[in-house]
Chains A and B, each alone.
Chain A
Amino acid sequence: MARFKFNRKTGGESAAYTVAFAVMLIFCASYIFAFLWAIFAATKTHAQIVMEPFKWHDKWLFSNFIDVFKRLDVRGVKVAGMIGNSLWYTLGASALGILGPALMAYALTKFQFVGRKALISVNFVVMILPIIGALPAQYRMFSRLGFVNSPLLLISSFGCFGGTLLILMSFFRNLSDEYRDAARIDGAGEYRILFTIMFPLAKAPIFALFVMNLVGVWNDYMTPLLFLPRMPTLATGVYLFSADANARAEYEIMMAATVLTAIPPLILFLLFNKAMLTSLSIGGLKE
């Protein structure tokens, strides 16, 4: 590769790189700017936000972040309660949301069995043909089952189809069978092969998907809004707080809450972004 690094780029090529670089710079700068702006707004007094939202202020009120814990209140639940709800919901839904498809992907790629092809087709159909307008029916079913406002909702996260399955199938398909065959000859049982050989080999994509799930579920406000209305998570809490006319008068508190909500996923992402970047792919490579 190094040999070609010093090849001079043609005019068209270097123009394309310049444009691409400029565009990337603009987008990334805007993301940073937006996040800094949120911190900026979160440290103002209320009067400053209303009167001069874009003026630089000398005294940054970091106490607003502490005030969030006292003043943010949604349907009688305070921030500590929201953090608790966010934690169990995020951890539970993410773990179950990856375990189900991971087992399924292993079964579909490493075994021949009756109905295997049918299951792959079902996944395809389920993914591209969503049942539109099923929300009311879903709500009715979940409320009859007692899932609404209850951790039982997590049961519905233990799925088997979807994008996660596709990604893991494309991983397992490329995974060599040598270790497994060797273990079989040595007389290892299927469960031992699965949990001590195959899953450890697949830990990179599984972990990356798990982290992505964590971030996605932590930020998801729609599902908890519909099915956990009395157990607001941080994401729904911030949304409901922002939608509430009385609370809008406390804009700086809301901004402080939004910044606080963003911290856990930011930390996760700073720790694991490399793992997320290098270990996921979908659809395979054409030979």
Chain B
Amino acid sequence: MEGILKARKSVRRARTVKKYLFLASIIGVQLALFCFFYVGISGGAVLMAFQKNTGGRAVLTLDHFKRFFDVFLHTSDIWIALRNTFIFFFFGFVMLPISFANSYFMYKKIWGYKIFRVLFFLPSVISMVVWSQIYGGIVGPQGPVARLFQILSGSEFPPHFLGDSRYALIFVILYSFWLGYAGSFILFGGALSRIPESVIEAGKIDGVGWFRELVQVIIPLVWPTLSTMLILSLTGLFTASGNIFLLTNGAFGTTTISFIIFQNTYNGGNMADLPPATQGYTAALGLVFTVLTIPLVFLTVKLLKKVEDVKY
């Protein structure tokens, strides 16, 4: 009897070992790489923020943070960047329900939805470099929008919408709205298409109107997708900068925090020549905003969870 138990135990142990060996073989490499890069890069960034070179030796310092607060208090650059960051963030939040509404109508098979569905891919299929060139051509001083504005306002020259602090930010946002309108329609569409037909039909039989159906049946059913996307849009708060880079290169009051960081890093493509002070300053700036995002993110996660719990 004891022998059988022992044998069973050892078989089970062998199975467990085998399972872990298998798991290690399929996820070990990428996990090790992740740890190596993540720890190396974020650790490196923290070190960079606290280090400076004096006489060829790295010493700990708070200089980069001092410089950051100096710049923060005495110049307007970071304030403008911070303001724009929140403007873009707010805009991203507003875009989510809009693009969800768009997906909803496609799910409801609005007339021509098959063609629309294909065309809404265009913004993501064609490179942003191409779109920004086209947009620059259309709203630029030579383009039709500026000409129309010139005629309507009766001014002498057509305005340079992307090269003028009065308009640039608005036109960067318009560009994001133009191309981001359909948004994550693939993921929204995927979620909507998985709603069981029976649920919708049951509602119809009970005489539920289309608006009640949307608010009380459809949105609750796809809420996990919606809330995930909402949380993920937070991620972009301090990281998205692509459109600014291509449209205005951060000039004319359109810069953001993430763009300042990118600009300091890219610096015309001469990474190797980047002075350590700039590296340290950039790292310090990033660290301050990373710490600031943490409570914001967790607050949002909590709020979204609460909404979910209360409603359903």
Chain B proximity mask over A1-35: 1 for CB below 8 Å, otherwise 0: 10010010110110001001101110110111011
Q: Give the 4 A-B residue pairs with the shortest CB-CB distance, closest first.
A: A133-B286, A281-B190, A137-B44, A283-B224
User: 20 A-B contacts, Cβ less than 8 Å apart?
Assistant: A9-B210, A12-B211, A24-B112, A27-B181, A107-B23, A131-B41, A133-B49, A133-B284, A134-B44, A134-B286, A136-B265, A138-B41, A190-B18, A190-B19, A235-B127, A235-B129, A239-B129, A277-B189, A281-B194, A285-B222
Return B259 CB to nearest CB of chain A, in Å: 11
B84 at the interface (CB under 8 A from A): no
Measured CB to CB, the nearest residue on chain B to A281 is B190
A130 at the interface (CB under 8 A from B): yes
Return B289 CB to nearest CB of chain A, in Å: 5
> Are the C-beta atoms of B124 and A128 separated by less than 8 Å?
no
> Are the C-beta atoms of A100 and B190 separated by less than 8 Å?
no
> Are the C-beta atoms of A285 and B194 separated by less than 8 Å?
yes
Complex Cα gap A136–B41 (Å): 9
> Are the C-beta atoms of A37 and B137 separated by less than 8 Å?
yes
> Are the C-beta atoms of B129 and A139 separated by less than 8 Å?
no
Residues of B near A155 (CB, < 8 A) are 33
> Are the C-beta atoms of B289 and A133 separated by less than 8 Å?
yes
Per DSSP, chain B at the interface is helix
A247 at the interface (CB under 8 A from B): no
Q: Which of B153-192 contact A (CB under 8 A)?
A: 178, 181-182, 186-187, 189-191
B40 at the interface (CB under 8 A from A): yes
> Are the C-beta atoms of A226 and B265 separated by less than 8 Å?
yes
> Are the C-beta atoms of A31 and B187 separated by less than 8 Å?
no
B53 at the interface (CB under 8 A from A): no
Complex Cα gap A284–B44 (Å): 37
Complex Cα gap A212–B262 (Å): 25
B151 at the interface (CB under 8 A from A): no
A103 at the interface (CB under 8 A from B): yes
Complex Cα gap A238–B172 (Å): 21
Complex Cα gap A284–B222 (Å): 8
Q: Which of A232-287 contact B (CB under 8 A)?
A: 235, 238-239, 242, 254-255, 258-259, 261-262, 265-266, 268-269, 273, 276-286
Residues of A near B97 (CB, < 8 A) are none
A156 at the interface (CB under 8 A from B): yes
Which of A126, A135, A265 has most B Cβ within 10 Å? A135
> Are the C-beta atoms of A37 and B118 separated by less than 8 Å?
no
B209 at the interface (CB under 8 A from A): yes
A160 at the interface (CB under 8 A from B): yes
Return B293 CB to nearest CB of chain A, in Å: 7
A143 at the interface (CB under 8 A from B): yes
